[in-house]
Amino acid sequence: MAIEIIKIGREELKQYAQIPIRFRVESVLRVDEIDHGLGGLKLSKEPVDKPYEKDYDSYEKDEDGPPANWLKHFDVSQWLFLMGYDGETPVGGAVVAFRSSKVNMLEGRDDLAGLWDIRVHPGYRGRGIGTALFDQAAVWARKQGCKQLKAETQNINIRACEFYAARGCHLGNINRYGYSNEPRVAHEVSLYWYLNL
C-alpha cells in the first residue's frame, strides 16, 4: 500500500505523538578544533563505547509530553503539520515552524522556516517516507516566501546528518556548547543544517 502524506491540524498532534522518534546511537561525530578553532573544526565519525537508544520525546519536561506541549509554549498558528499514513495507521510526520517569535531556531527571520520535527516509525524507515515529508516541507516553505529551511540535529544522530546532507542541506552552524545547561545531553553538539530554497 502506498503511503499518503497529508496536512493535518494541531488537534491531531496526539495521534502524531504515537509515531516513535527514537533511534539507536552506535557512533557519533566527534568535533575537533584545528589550531584552536582558527583553522576550523573537523568532524570525525567514531563508535561509542556502549550503544544506546535515544528518544527525543523523553526529554520533554511538560506533563502533557511532546508534541502537545508545543501548543502551550509557542504560537503555532502559521506552522505546518504533516502526517504520513499507511491506510489509517500514522507512520511518519513532520512539523515546520514559521513566524513564531519564541522559536530561537528561526533567528527572528520571516524568510526562514524551521523543520521543527520529523519522524518515521522504525518499522517504516528506509522506504522514502522521510524524504517525501522533507520535500513537502521544503515546497511549503518556498511557497511561504522562505529563502531557507533549517533543521537541527546532534552529533549523536549521524543518520539524520547524512539524511540532511543527501537532501542538499549544508551544515551552517556547529554549536559545541548548545546543550550545556541540560545535564542529560550536555555532551552532545548541536548541528544546524540549511537548505537554500
What CATH number does the domain containing 38 carry?
Answer: 3.40.630.30
Q: Could you give the number of structural domains in the chain?
A: 1
**Structural domain of 9:** 4-196
pLDDT in tens, 143-169: 999 999 999 999 999 999 999 999 999
pLDDT in tens, 114-128: 999 999 999 999 999
Long-range contacts (CB closer than 8 Å, 24 or more residues apart) made by 187-192: 188/154, 188/155, 188/156, 189/29, 189/31, 189/154, 189/155, 190/152, 190/153, 190/154, 191/29, 191/152, 191/153, 191/154, 191/155, 191/161, 192/105, 192/150, 192/151, 192/152
pLDDT in tens, 64-113: 557 778 888 899 999 999 999 999 999 999 999 999 999 999 999 999 99
Q: pTM, whole model, 2 decimals? A: 0.93
**Residue 142 pLDDT more than 80?**
yes
